[in-house]
Structure formats: structure tokens, C-alpha cells
Chain A
Amino acid sequence: MAGSRMKLELSKVVQGRCRLGQLKEMGRMGQHCLDIPGCLLYTHLGTVPHLTQDTLHTLSSLPTVTQVTLSNIAEHQDVLEEFKGGFKKFAGLHDTVLYCSLHDSAAQSPTGHTTNKTVSVWGSGGRIELTVAKFMALQRTVQPDWYQTMADGETWQTGISRKRVRKSVDRSLAHLDECLLVHQKSQELDGVSVFGVVEGGDILEERLRSARETAKRPVAGFCLDGFQNGAMDQALRSQLITAVTKELPEDKPRLLQGVGRPDEVLACVEAGVDLFEGFFPFQVTERGCALCFLFDITPDPESAAADEEQHTAGETQPNGDLNCDDQTHMTRFEMDLKDKRYQDDFRPLVEGCGCYCCRNHQRAYVHHLLVTNELLAGVLLMIHNTSHYNSFFRAVREALANDKMDLLRRRVLGTVKEESG
């Protein structure tokens, strides 16, 4: 089986779907593990946006899995072929598991270029059309520890026909079979884990068919595609994911693509998702915002009081639309540091946060960097947002372990305040 190394150990399953555990024996040497529910480290070509190794490693407990996308890498195929050492070595990445996905969930690429035999990715130089042969040739040069197979996920636009959705399921299964065939013949990919992609748009029976068929193949895990922001609301998403995960074997991980908002993460964890991409902190950074939502559920009255104050700062934001489909739009989980109210605010971004930015800098300074368009703004915000987001995932695991998901959800959504106050 492709990717026999990666092992999922579940320590707890709540309500038959919501899972706590650990992915073990990842990487070619089998030396890495990742706690689930968890998120991956989002990168541009192996680099966490805005960060160098110095600034990245101010963060403690980074995700052990680094995600790169073929949309970034495909245009450098000839370079990597000449380099021969694989992408990790090329990008100066040591001591991480490399996961290679197809598209960048933070970048919306044009649609309408998918055919029966090809999908397209969009890099800095424009569109690159991939056949399975080219896709697999790329995987052989990238030499990831883990990759998703080629898939047709163009089902998220409104008004998409049932016929088109069915076609996307059929194509993705065909691509999967072809990828697996090449994979098994490629010595370079020995020991590399393969995730099959579950498609099916918003049609339940197509979702089920896709899940059942993909599960029959020798894959190490599953990518749930076509659920991204804008494709559907959370109620439908939860319903479909719950149905899909029921069809998937319990001992294999499920990675959800394109979903990153904290409230949606919680709902999807409850629907049976194990892994998320880490693009959300990047999107927040790009709009000059800092994550400030609460996730602390330890019953410490002192920190609860501090949280209260923190929360009020976040809640009075002008943009608090919870049902916003636009990914570039500010959410209620963040504060807009470009706002004038922060120009003389000498508090850290989040009181009590231990990230480099909060230990060393104040809101007023980050505000100044944003209004003057200074590059350091992106650096400091990316450090903080990545740190905050990772801590949120740690809180999710703690809440699951201690049966406190309800409390965590209310805390994250900001409704726990009335109880404590």
C-alpha cells in the first residue's frame, strides 16, 4: 500500500465521529508525529509567508508538517530536476514532514481549465497544465513525505450542475487510480504517503460515492475537497462531512482543504475532520489584522478577567460578520490594527500571549508599521497569528480530552461571557 508508514492512533472518539489522537511514524524515517485535530504549516514555496528561519523559530511547537503547493512548485520543475535532492533540501527545510498539495487555499485561481485528462495550477508565470504523468513526474522531483493525488475540484461555484459534479468525482477517481499505478512503479516514491481526494460538491450521493470509492483504494488518508469558504454554508458542510467521514475507515486521517475559520474548524472537527491547512493566519495577516479570539477554558478567575477585557476590545470591531463568504473579509476573530484606535495603545496585541511580537512590541507600533506600509508589519503579524492559531488547535485537543468542547465553542464564539459575567 502506498504510504504504509503513517499510522493513526486514536485516543478518544466523541459521539462516534470527533477524534483525538496522533499521527505517528510520519516522514521517510518515520521519526515524526502530529497531534490531531491539528493544522499544517502553511508556506509559499516552503517559506512561511514573510518569515525567515530566524523569525519562524521564535515560535515554539510549530506544526511538524510543512505544506507546499504544486501551484508554487510546478514552474520550478526543471530546476528541481537538475537539483536532484528533492524540495526539502532545495528549500533549506530540515526536520519537517513535507506535504505536497495541488492548490493554494489562500489564492483563488481561475476556473474552466480542467479537462478529462488534466488539471491546471496557477503559478507566478501563469497557468501550468498538469496531466497525471506530469503530476507524478513533479512528485518524483519534489520527493515529499506525503502528497494528495491529482483531482478535479471545480465544484464550488454557485449553480454548478449535477452532471458536472458527477464528472468531478469520476475524473478524480480516474486520476487517483492512475497516480497510484505510477506511484507503485516509482522507486523514488517508496514509503511516501498518498492521500486520495473526496469530491462531490454539495450533492450528498456524489459525496458518498466519492468517499466509498476512494476508500477502496490503497491510500494512507483522505483529502476532503470542495468544502472551502464560499462553496457552502457551515450547516450543509457539517452535514456532508459527517456523512462522508462515516464512509471512511476509522484508522486513516482526514484532511479538510480550504476551511480555516475558528468557528468552522470547531464544527468540522465535530463532524469528523482531523487535519486542517494553516492558511487562515496568513489571510488575517494580509489584511493587517491580528487574531485575538479567546480559547482559554482553564477555570482561572484571574486570567478570565484579563480575557474579558481582551474580548471587549475584539468585539467592538466594526466587521463582525460571521456568515461572510468572502475570504478577504475581516472576521470577528481578529482585530484590525490599522484602526486609528490602536495608534496610542501600548498593550501587546494579545495580553498574555507569549509570541515574539507580543513579548516585544505594542499595538501602537504594529499600527505604525501598517500605516507606513513597512514590511515588518507582515513579519510581526504572521508570527503572532501563526502562534495564536497553533495555540487554538492545542486548546481544541485539550477540550476534546477533557470533554469541554461545548465550553470551548462558546468561548470561541464569545457567548461564554454572559455566564461568567
Chain B
Amino acid sequence: MAATITSEADGNLKENSMFLKKTLAAVSPLTLRIVAECPVTKARACDLTLPHSSVSTPVFMPVGTQGTLKGITADQLEGLGCQICLGNTYHLGMRPGPELIEKANGLHGFMNWRRNLLTDSGGFQMVSLVELSEVTEEGVKFKSPYDGKEILLSPEKSISIQNSLGSDIMMQLDDVVSSTVKGPRVEEAMHRSIRWLDRCIAANKHPDKQNLFAIIQGGLDAELRKACLDEMTKRDVPGFAIGGLSGGEEKDDFWRMVTLSTDHLPREKPRYLMGVGYAVDLVVCVALGCDMFDCVFPTRTARFGSALVPWGSLQVKQKQYAKDFQPIDPDCQCPTCKRHSRAYLHALFKSDTAAMHHITIHNIAYQLTLMRSVRQSIVEGRFPEFIQTFMKRMFPSPDQYPNWAVEALASVNVTLE
């Protein structure tokens, strides 16, 4: 099967293999030091060194779609201990455009963010946001929602934009198929993603400054996933993402694809599970061996007044909090919880957008603190106990534990009490 894949990309083959040799020789601008591995599960704690700063994993990466994190300043984000955040290539490529950002010394300079940035390929937004998109071997064709012009996002174009953005980690353009789609389209997308990976590797103008991650595809089909893993791990990319999940598929399928992927990914390279951000999913997927996560959920839900807490979430705008003078979470050390009560935030939601900023700050603090606690427990060799405590706090009783989580954790030797 692998042979047919490479022959399809025959035109690029010679160039690619030459390039592969080159990148093998060059040192990628990333090092991963495994600090601790859980003796029971597949969890690990690592120090990931990237061009702008080091990152302690497991890590949650907040999403700053348009070069800003939803009303939070770069200083505030740094103050919360965020070491890496995301920018979206599709949005930034449209507005303000790669030329302008390049003039501003990259996205770091444009948004004045001193730490690391990861950019996606733009492909996902294209498929999810733009109605008129067509995927061909060349790339993704779509009509600009701003001026109606037809634009082609090819692997080369995606990398060129990401090179202009200057992110520390770039993502390959992949052929994104909804995780609920079945049949030959999934297989086609998987093979195409491999071909596009090679084109992305060849297109990277700054392999010494910008890391390019491959994205494992293959839908919910174990054989396709395995084939994709086999092929992509032959490339000497600095890291791998697990893609095509977290799109509405059954959780039973989701965790099996995750664990299959981590089983076959190289130990010495970072593993990034795309689009995952619910607390339970984070804890379970750390146990399955993932290092990096991103999701818009914590910041998006904040703007609707939903605050994340160890027992789930708290809807600040609900009437029951109008006279509740406690902080969102009495144990939380974030600037919001240290100063404001649920009642004040409830009232402020009726008067000013700052109410949203307060919850956004709290939710980012919650995600980052959760991941720091997870890491700490791995380092101290008590991650299985951490999972038990975490689940007990999150659910009122064990019979409410989601079945998929119970099974996923059992697969890595953790039996929930």
C-alpha cells in the first residue's frame, strides 16, 4: 500500500527524499526531555524546549484565533503561566494577511507575545467554516468570505503562510474529513494527508526555526490509522498530532483511536491531540500517552458565563448565583476568584464585557492548573491516585462515570473505584 502512495506523488518523490535526508541531518528546533513516566498508565511528563521558551507537558494550549486571546492581554496570559498558545492560519491568512504579519516580525511581534505559538494549517477551518470548498490533490479550493475570490490553499501555501507567521510549531495541511464519515473518502483523505505531509516538509523555508508536525489521519478505522502511523513515522518530523478526532464521533471510537496512535508513535517525540479540552478527556488522554492539547471550549464557554470548576461547571448567569457571595471556586488562586464573588460577576454580566474577561481568565487558569497538577502527580509517581481523586470530585457518584472513560482508563491499568 505504501508503494502506491509514493508513486502517486511521483513528481515530488526525488525532491522529497533529498529533502528528507537534509532534515534528518539538521537538528530540529525542538527537544523533548522525558522527566517522568507513569509506571501504571502511558502518561508522561516532559520538558519540551521550543524556540521561544520551554513548555512543561502535559500542556493545554489556549486558542487565540485571530492573534488575540478573547479579551485577555499578552501580559495576563503570561501571568497565568501559559507557555504556548495557538493562532489560526486561516483567519490570520485572511486578515491581516501573511505579508503584514511578516512585516510586524511575525505573529509574535504582531500580537507582542514572547512565548511559543502553534499555528494550525488552515485546512480545518476551511472545511468547517467555508461552505464552498472543494478538495483536490492540489489543495483545498474555497471562496473568500470577504471578497468572494477563489483561493487555493495548497500544502505549500499553508506552510508559506505559517512561515510568515513564524510560529514555533506549524501543522501540516491535512485532508480533513468529518470523523463521522465512513467509507473510501476516509482512506483517500489518509493517503492524501501523507502526500501533503511530504509537500509541507519540502515547502518549509525555516526548518531550523519552525517545527513542522505531521497529523495522523485515518478516521475511526484502526487499519487506516495504523497505515497512516506506519507511513508518517518514517518521516523525521519533530512531532506528531493525532487528527480527525473530537468531531462528534462516539467516545468509544475516540479513545481507541487515541490509544492506538500513542502505541505507535515514537517515544522521543511530542504527541499532540487536536481539539481536546474537556477536563475528563484531558485526564484520560494524558493517561493514554498524549502530551499536548488545544480547544476553544474553555474560552468560548466563558463568554457565555460558564465557569469551569473541579465539579464540572458553574453557570454564573443563572439566577441561583445572584446572591451567592462566594468566589467561583473557593480553592482557585486565579485573579478572578481572589477578588470577585459569583454574585458580583452575575450582576456584572448585565453591565459590562469585563464579566466575560473575568470568566475567561478563570477558565484558562483552571485548564493550566489542572495540567500542572496532572504533571506534578506524574512526576511524583501518583498519577493513578490523582485520576481517582479527580473523577470523584468531578462526578457526584461512581455510577455517573462515563463508560468510555472507565474502559479507557482500564485499558491502561487504572480501575476506577
Known: A79-B323, A83-B343. A368 touches B96 (CB 8 A): yes
Contacts of A51 in B (CB 8 A): 354
Check if A362 sits within 8 Å of B104, measured CB to CB: yes
Check if A376 sits within 8 Å of B347, measured CB to CB: no
B199 within 8 A of A: no
Check if A47 sits within 8 Å of B348, measured CB to CB: yes
Check if B343 sits within 8 Å of A346, measured CB to CB: no
A343 within 8 A of B: yes
Which of A44, A90, A125, A369 touches B352 (beta carbons < 8 Å)? A44
**What is the bound-complex CA distance between A92 and B348, given in angstroms?**
12
Using CB atoms, name the residue of chain A closest to B74: A360
Question: Which residues, 53 to 77 on A, are CB-close (under 8 Å) to B?
Answer: 53-55, 58, 72, 75-76
**In the assembled complex, how far is the CB of residue A231 from the closest CB belonging to chain B, in whole angstroms?**
26
B95 within 8 A of A: yes
Check if B323 sits within 8 Å of A82, measured CB to CB: yes
Contacts of B358 in A (CB 8 A): 52
Contacts of A374 in B (CB 8 A): 66, 68, 70-71
Check if B354 sits within 8 Å of A52, measured CB to CB: yes
Check if A356 sits within 8 Å of B73, measured CB to CB: yes
A15 within 8 A of B: no
Question: Which residues, 91 to 139 on B, are CB-close (under 8 Å) to A?
Answer: 91, 95-96, 100, 103-104, 110-112
Check if B350 sits within 8 Å of A124, measured CB to CB: yes
Which of A58, A368, A378, A380 touches B95 (beta carbons < 8 Å)? A368
A365 within 8 A of B: yes
**What is the bound-complex CA distance between A49 and B355, given in angstroms?**
10
Using CB atoms, name the residue of chain B closest to A371: B95
Using CB atoms, name the residue of chain A closest to B357: A52
A181 within 8 A of B: no
**What is the bound-complex CA distance between A44 and B74, given in angstroms?**
24
A140 within 8 A of B: no
Contacts of A343 in B (CB 8 A): 96, 100
Which of A50, A124, A380 touches B354 (beta carbons < 8 Å)? A50
Check if B96 sits within 8 Å of A379, measured CB to CB: no
Known: A55-B73, A90-B341, A92-B344. A50 touches B351 (CB 8 A): no
A375 within 8 A of B: yes
Contacts of B69 in A (CB 8 A): 376
**What is the bound-complex CA distance between A370 and B340, given in angstroms?**
29
Check if B67 sits within 8 Å of A44, measured CB to CB: no
Check if A365 sits within 8 Å of B111, measured CB to CB: yes
**What is the bound-complex CA distance between A341 and B68, given in angstroms?**
21
B281 within 8 A of A: no
Using CB atoms, name the residue of chain B closest to A48: B354
**What is the bound-complex CA distance between A90 and B325, given in angstroms?**
8
B151 within 8 A of A: no
Question: Which residues, 66 to 89 on B, are CB-close (under 8 Å) to A?
Answer: 66-76, 79
**What is the bound-complex CA distance between A356 and B351, given in angstroms?**
24
**In the assembled complex, how far is the CB of residue B100 from the closest CB belonging to chain A, in whole angstroms?**
6
* Chain A interface extent, by class: 35 or more
**What is the bound-complex CA distance between A354 and B343, given in angstroms?**
35
A311 within 8 A of B: no
Check if A379 sits within 8 Å of B352, measured CB to CB: no
Check if B67 sits within 8 Å of A368, measured CB to CB: yes
Contacts of B70 in A (CB 8 A): 374-376
Which of A52, A78, A82, A379 touches B335 (beta carbons < 8 Å)? A52
The total of chain B residues at the interface (CB under 8 A) is: 43
Would you give the 0/1 interface string for A348-392, flagging 1 where the beta carbon is closer than 8 Å to chain B?
000000001000111011011101101110111000000000000
**In the assembled complex, how far is the CB of residue A383 from the closest CB belonging to chain B, in whole angstroms?**
9
B361 within 8 A of A: yes
Which of B72, B344, B351, B354 touches A72 (beta carbons < 8 Å)? B351
**What is the bound-complex CA distance between A362 and B351, given in angstroms?**
29
Question: Which residues, 356 to 372 on B, are CB-close (under 8 Å) to A?
Answer: 356-358, 361
Which of A44, A361, A378 touches B112 (beta carbons < 8 Å)? A361
A233 within 8 A of B: no
Check if B104 sits within 8 Å of A365, measured CB to CB: yes
A91 within 8 A of B: yes
Check if B344 sits within 8 Å of A90, measured CB to CB: yes
Which of A45, A83, A346, A356 touches B104 (beta carbons < 8 Å)? A346
Contacts of B111 in A (CB 8 A): 365
**What is the bound-complex CA distance between A356 and B96, given in angstroms?**
22
Known: A90-B344, A369-B68. A52 touches B361 (CB 8 A): yes
A344 within 8 A of B: yes
**What is the bound-complex CA distance between A52 and B348, given in angstroms?**
11
Which of B66, B76, B341, B354 touches A372 (beta carbons < 8 Å)? B66
B353 within 8 A of A: yes
Contacts of B73 in A (CB 8 A): 54-55, 356, 360, 376, 379-380
B339 within 8 A of A: yes
Check if A45 sits within 8 Å of B347, measured CB to CB: yes
B274 within 8 A of A: no
B322 within 8 A of A: yes
Using CB atoms, name the residue of chain B closest to A379: B71
Contacts of B350 in A (CB 8 A): 45, 75, 123-125
Pairs across A and B, CB under 8 Å, 28 listed: A44-B352, A44-B354, A49-B352, A51-B354, A52-B76, A52-B335, A53-B335, A54-B75, A54-B335, A55-B73, A76-B347, A83-B325, A83-B343, A90-B341, A91-B344, A125-B350, A343-B96, A343-B100, A356-B75, A364-B96, A364-B110, A365-B111, A367-B96, A369-B68, A371-B95, A374-B68, A376-B73, A379-B73
Interface positions of B (Cβ within 8 A of A):
66-76, 79, 91, 95-96, 100, 103-104, 110-112, 322-323, 325, 335-336, 339-341, 343-344, 347-348, 350-358, 361
Add 8 more A-B contacts to A51-B354, A90-B343 (CB < 8 A). A45-B350, A50-B71, A360-B75, A365-B67, A365-B112, A374-B70, A375-B70, A375-B356
Interface positions of A (Cβ within 8 A of B):
44-45, 47-55, 58, 72, 75-76, 78-79, 82-83, 90-92, 123-125, 343-344, 346, 356, 360-362, 364-365, 367-369, 371-372, 374-376, 378-380
Sorted from nearest, which 9 A-B pairs have the closest CB atoms? A375-B71, A124-B350, A44-B352, A92-B339, A44-B351, A45-B351, A376-B68, A372-B66, A47-B354
